[in-house]
Amino acid sequence: MIHQTRNLLTAGMVAVCLGLGAASAKADEFINVLTGGTSGVYYPLGAALAKIYGEKIPGVRTQVQATKASIENLNLLQQGKGEIAFALGDSVRDAWDGNEEAGFKQKLDKLRAIAAIYPNYIQIVASKESGVVDLATLKGKRLSVGAPKSGTELNARAIFKAAGMSYGDLGKTEYLPFGESVELIKNRQLDATLQSAGLGVASIKDLASTQPITVVAVPADIAQKLGAPFLAATIPAGTYDGQTTDVPTVAITNILVTRADVSDEEAYQMTKQLFENLPELVAAHKAASVIKLENGPKDLPIPLHPGAARYYKEKGLL
C-alpha cells in the first residue's frame, strides 16, 4: 500500500512537473516586433502593437526592436530573429524576388504576410533658406536619403531614376536616419531630407516647429512611371507647421510581415488583435488612422500566412 502510494505521489509529481513545463513553454511564447528608427512611424506603432499582443494574447511575451527598417527587418525575419515586422511594399517584393541590388542576396522564401496597413508618403522637406522648391532645384544641394539600402533609400533611388536624375546630380548625398537628418538641417549642414513615412512623422514635425520649411512636390507622372506598388498621393495642407497648401507626392503601402514557421494560431492572433485594437494604434500615431480591415489581404506581393488567412476568411474577406 505504501509502495502504491509512493508510486501515485511520484506520478502526481511528474504530472505537476509536466503541467508546469507546459505552462512554462506557453509563457515563453515570444513575439519580437521589428520596427525602424525611433524617430520614424514604425517604432511607436510597433511599441503599441507589442503592448496589445502582450496584453491580449495569453502566455505571450513581447519585445520591440529598433532597426534600420524594411531591408534589415526582412532579412532578420528570414533568419528567424523576429516574429512580425514592418516593411515597405517594394522592399517586400524585392525580398521575395531575391533582388541583390536592393539588399537581398537570395530569395527570402520564409516571408509571409499578415496585413497591408497604411501608406508611406515620400516626404521631401527642405529648409526654406535652401531655395529648394522642386526636384530640379535639388540639383547641387545637400540631401539625406535615409539609412543605406533602407526602404527609404530604395524609394529615393527609384524616384530619382523616374525623374531622370541620380545622386550624382546632388552637391552631397548623406545616408542618415530621419532624426539625424533633421539635426543636420537645423545646423545648416544639410539642405533637405527625403523621408518615406506615414504623415505627421515626428522628425519632420520637429524640424517644422523650429524653422520655415518647404515640402517639395513629387509630380503625379513620377508615380505613373514607377507603377505598382507606387501610387500618386497628396500631403494635405497643415500636415506640418507652415505648410499652407496640399503637396502632390508618391505613396507606397506598408506591410506587416511574419515568417512561415510562426504557428498558425500565433499568426491568427497577431492579425486579429491588430484589427480589433486599432484605436490603440491610432493613439500611438495618427498614420494608423487609415488602416482598414478590408485592405488587409489586398495587393500583397507575398503569400498570406495561413493563420492570417483564417482571420480574413472569418471576416468574409477571402
Model pLDDT, residue 17:
38
- Look at residue 288 and tell me whether its pLDDT is greater than 50: yes
Q: Calculate mean pLDDT across residues 22-49.
A: 82
Give the domains, in start order, of the chain with CATH numbers.
Answer: 29-118+254-314 (3.40.190.10), 120-252 (3.40.190.10)
Degrees to nearest 5, angle at CA 177 with 119 and 154: 55
Q: Which of 5-9, 153-157, 196-200, 265-269 comes out lowest in average pLDDT?
A: 5-9
Give this prediction's pTM.
Answer: 0.79
Q: Which of 50-59, 128-137, 142-151 comes out lowest in average pLDDT?
A: 142-151
Q: Calculate mean pLDDT across residues 243-266.
A: 97
Phi/psi of residue 14, nearest 5 degrees:
-60, -45
- The answer to whether the CB of 142 falls within 8 A of the CB of 132 is no
Mean model confidence pLDDT for the chain: 91
Chain centroid to Cα 285, Å, comes to 13
- The answer to whether the CB of 120 falls within 8 A of the CB of 174 is no
Question: Alpha-carbon distance 232 to 239, whole Å?
Answer: 17
- Look at residue 9 and tell me whether its pLDDT is greater than 50: no
Band (6; pLDDT cuts 50, 70, 90): very low
Band (151; pLDDT cuts 50, 70, 90): confident
Q: Calculate mean pLDDT across residues 46-73.
A: 96
Q: Calculate mean pLDDT across residues 235-254.
A: 96
Per-residue pLDDT tens digits for 92-122: 999 999 999 888 999 999 999 999 999 999 9
